[in-house]
Amino acid sequence: MTTDKTYDAIVLGAGPAGEVVAGKLADGGWKVAIVERELVGGECSYWACMPSKALLRPADVLGEARRIPGMPLDKDAGLEPTAVLARRDRVIHSEGADGPDDSGQLPWLEERGIDLHRGAGRFLDEGRIEVGSATLAASRAVIVATGTGAAMPPIDGLDSVRTWNNRDATTAEKVPASMVVLGGGPVGTELSQAWASLGTKVTLVDAAEHLLGREEPYAGEEVAAALRGRFGVDVRLGAEVESVREKDGGIVVELGAGGAVEGEELLVAVGRKPHTDGIGLDAIGIQPDDHGFLEADDRMRVGGRKNLFAIGDVNGRALFTHVGKYQAWVVAENLLGREVDAIAEGLGSPRVTFTDPQVAAVGKTLAAAEEAGIDARAVEVPTDGSPGASFQGKGTGGKSRLVVDLATDTIIGATFTGFETADFLQTATLAIVAEVPLSRLRHAIAPYPTRSEVWLKLLEKWESGDD
């Protein structure tokens, strides 16, 4: 078979991880190709992170305005769904009938001399990729960055009814009257809030006892309380789904404990499935793990090979856009001769759920630290307990917690809940990665009156010896 073009590196997937590694290698003098079957920018730009945050933001702003006296708002003021959806479309460059447009992403590739091949890439053998009728060769590396798609659980009847996945829920052009959401993780909670804020009657169903089950229990409890109280969501916890069926144009979800819930739409938000099927892994003797992910070592190498890498969601290490970009940097550094191992996932990747209250966390929860055999102690204070917090309006609530390793006097975990806590997270991440002792961190003065004084409150609480 004739090779149409040879490159130093070929990247399968033009999402954030693929773009970053391609750009860094091109900046390092490599000839690079990207193969993309959909849009340059990937899932996050058009169907996940960006549109979901665009849907959530209007209710956050309205809530803050209502808390501050003097704002020119009628007490019954609400959101205008048509305007919210139109703004969402502008955020994802989807203002025409053809859907999202990635033309704005292309100059960045062109400036770096990166060739874009549109189509589904498939391994022919090690170092050779088929895209449509073309065959491409990589002389130095192939990086798989094909991402994930929505997973469908094995629920009776689910494969025979109309369902929404995250793409449907973030790009819908009308507000449904009612919706059932399966899954109480970040996607399920965020989209429950977003659509409820636009007038949809939402029922959120999860088998766990807490929402956001991987976070501190109080975080899920606060989000559940806000969804029920402020947004009117019917949150059903500890509820196993037995089956689903259609009825009168809607969907009925039968619950294991008896009873049922109904909605015009059914959003399934219970996890992600890696895009590893159909990319020709058999041709290179690589087998994904039992969940379909490509196992990668701390330099993102697959199967111990020096020229095959997997970055981003497809390797299953930590399914966050920012982690994929970090992994892309690790791969590029190693290929360009600057050896580095990835350590972020082992420490506990930073993560944010953009509900109101937001849940911003990094590192280990207290329970995870104890399960790991660490002698740990947690201290916590109200997130809205600083003078600076009053500027966002009274009664924003929330709780901030540090988890401290007593043997090293360092932070190993942090969780901040409350109004717009996401930007608290980087300080905690730096403290964890740099292993800064609390005695040293105490010298990092938080300016008054800012919300960052939550750090002063936490360190004072630590010094007091109170939990």
> What kind and span of H or E run contains 225?
helix 217-229
Provide the pLDDT for residue 75: 77
Question: Hey, is 124 helix, strand or coil?
Answer: strand
| Structural domains of the chain, count | 3
Residue 55 has pLDDT above 80, yes or no: yes
**Does 74 reside within a domain?**
no
pTM of the model: 0.96
Domain holding 237: CATH number? 3.50.50.60
**Does 363 reside within a domain?**
yes
Please check whether residues 41 and 105 belong to one and the same domain. yes
Cis peptide leading into residue 437 (ω within 30°): no
User: pLDDT tens digit string along 242-255?
Assistant: 999 999 999 999 99
Domain carrying residue 266: 158-270
In this prediction, residues 57-66 reach a mean pLDDT of 94
Please check whether residues 207 and 225 belong to one and the same domain. yes
**Does 82 reside within a domain?**
no
Please check whether residues 12 and 111 belong to one and the same domain. yes
User: pLDDT tens digit string along 358-381?
Assistant: 999 999 999 999 999 999 999 999
> What kind and span of H or E run contains 402?
strand 399-405
Contact 241, 182 (CB under 8 A): yes
Provide the pLDDT for residue 372: 97
**Does 295 reside within a domain?**
yes
**Does 88 reside within a domain?**
no
Residue 395 has pLDDT above 90, yes or no: no
Instruction: Decide which of 250, 270, 290 is a domain's last residue.
Output: 270
Provide the pLDDT for residue 1: 57
Helix pair 81-91, 49-67: axis angle to 10 deg = 140
Please check whether residues 233 and 256 belong to one and the same domain. yes
